[in-house]
Chains A and B, each alone.
Chain A
Amino acid sequence: MAAAVAEARRIDTTVRPGPEDGELVAMTLGGRSEAFATLVERYDRAVYHLAYRTLRDVEEARDVSQEAFFKAYRSLRTFKPGAKFSTWIFAITYHACCDRLSRRKRYSNEELPERADTGPGPESQAIALDQARRLHDAIDALPEKYRAVITLYHLQGKQYEEIAVVLGLPMGTVKTHLFRAKEQLRKLLGAEEAAE
């Protein structure tokens, strides 16, 4: 169990060579913009993962990742010293995703019907190739709020407080969402196994 949690925290608390995130922010603000490149290097994959898992669209996830880092760079002065950069950048990314999703819903009848990814169909579920694929498919089938909680749980481990900050929700709600998301995941995966 401890090994699993440790693995989950690989995104933001793994001991890395080089300066801490907070120091990199300070260095960027001090005029050394290459320090920001290190932050991009550390978090671009996680940010993209969060955007892709929330939006389920490669192009939009790419745009949101770029937008998130641009917003972070532009408002780096507002970053509170002592706060976690990962939580901050995830929060920016998640809000950008929410904006996209609400825009998508607004225009869903005209512009974006073909982009609404309904997740894998019964056939593709039946021929699920491996556990990761099956789990990804099951996560995709979750309602949006549960999907976001599960994705952040995957990225940040059991740091409920950080997840609550990113989503802007009380910690109790996060725990409830996570419990229900896991319950639904178990049901989806169980049903899939039974179908096989």
Chain B
Amino acid sequence: MNFDNDDALDRALFALPLEEPPADLRASILTATIYRPAPVFSFRELVALAAVCAVVVWLVAAVVLGGGSLFVHSLQALGAATLRGLSNTSLVLWAAAGGATAIWLSIFTGFQPRTEGKAARRR
């Protein structure tokens, strides 16, 4: 076969078959993309979790450095304040109303899956 002219070489190049990919390539690509399991936590959730952990560590460190007696004293003060609050009828009523409203909102407003929400926004 003579490749002296450009057309002959072009024809030969264009006639080359493509490499045969490994049999499971397509499956592995799909597994890595559309069938990839969603992460347990989203990025925002991870940030929130890290923030909560940091606060807990800071609190524990503060308690340890401040001494055990301070911790016990703080717990007693917290308990006393809670009891005082619960003995106050108007406060209990307001708390009950708030809780009921939250439950009502979560039941009657429903929950839209993320993708549907996006599609709806697009439409």
Contact = CB atoms under 8 A, between A and B. Distances in A.
A53 B119 CA distance: 40
Interface residues of A, number: 41
A65 B16 contact: no
Interface of A: 1, 4-5, 7-8, 30-31, 33-34, 36-37, 40-41, 44-46, 48-49, 52-53, 58, 61-62, 65-66, 69-70, 73, 131-132, 135-136, 150, 153-154, 157, 182, 185-186, 189-190
Nearest to A3: B11
Interface string B21-38: 110011011101110000
B22 to A, nearest CB: 6
Nearest to B14: A8
A182 B3 CA distance: 10
B10 to A, nearest CB: 5
A171 B40 CA distance: 46
B13 interface: yes
A75 B24 CA distance: 24
Nearest to B12: A135
B68 interface: no
6 contacts: A5-B10, A8-B10, A58-B22, A154-B13, A185-B3, A190-B3
A48 B25 contact: yes
B15 interface: yes
A5 B14 contact: yes
Contacts of A31: 115-116, 118-119
B122 interface: yes
Interface of B: 1, 3-4, 6-7, 9-19, 21-22, 25-26, 28-30, 32-34, 115-116, 118-119, 122
B99 to A, nearest CB: 35
From DSSP, what is the main secondary structure of chain A's interface residues? helix
Contacts, number: 98
A73 B25 contact: no
* A-B pairs with lowest CB-CB distance, top 9: A31-B115, A48-B21, A33-B34, A8-B14, A73-B33, A49-B18, A49-B19, A69-B29, A4-B11
Nearest to A69: B29
B17 A132 contact: yes
A6 to B, nearest CB: 9
Contacts of B19: 45, 48-49, 52-53, 61
Nearest to B10: A4
A64 B12 CA distance: 27
A113 B68 CA distance: 63
Contact of A157 (B14, B21, B28): B14
Contacts of A48: 18-19, 21-22, 25
Given A7-B15, A41-B26, A69-B29, A62 B21 contact: yes
A150 B13 contact: yes
Contacts of B122: 30
